[in-house]
Amino acid sequence: LNDNPSHYKITLSGTAKSQKINFDPPFLMLMPVPLDVKTETAISIIPQDYLRQSQIQVELPELELEDGDRIYPFSVQFPEGRNIVLSSDGTNKELICHISFRSSRPVSFLGNMYFIDEEEN
């Protein structure tokens, strides 16, 4: 440099990893229970390749009954928090999520529950 006419070429390469979330178990089946009795299970949420803290939000399904009424029979709790945290070794810590169902009306459901990070992934 310093008035030296030589040209320098720098080549950079890298790999971008997409953030993703895996679940254990990958799908959920809650057992039938009597009306107005809660059934519950825990799942592990396994975040991968998050480089900064993010928080998980959950979109719970709304169910429409035969008479047109709408109910929200599902609820979720994160006993240790819903933040995705980068640990000192560069990995993301698992989150535990308790999913419960309770309905005072007969209903069955097959559908999706969406877990979304702060960047809407």
* pLDDT given at position 99: 96
Domain spans in the chain, listed from the N-terminal domain onward = 20-116
Residue 1 pLDDT more than 60? no
* pLDDT given at position 38: 95
Architecture in CATH of 20-116: Sandwich (2.60)
3-state secondary structure 14-58: CCCCCCEEEEECCCCCCCCCCCCCCEEEEEEEEEECCCCCEECEE
Which has more pLDDT, 41 or 86? 41
Place of tokens 């089946």: 29
* pLDDT given at position 5: 64
**83-84 vs 54-55, strand pairing mode:** antiparallel
* pLDDT given at position 15: 78
pTM of the complete model beyond 0.85: no
Task: For residue 99, give the 3-state DSSP assignment.
Answer: strand
Mean pLDDT of 39-51: 92
Mean pLDDT of 18-44: 92
Residue 58 pLDDT more than 60? yes
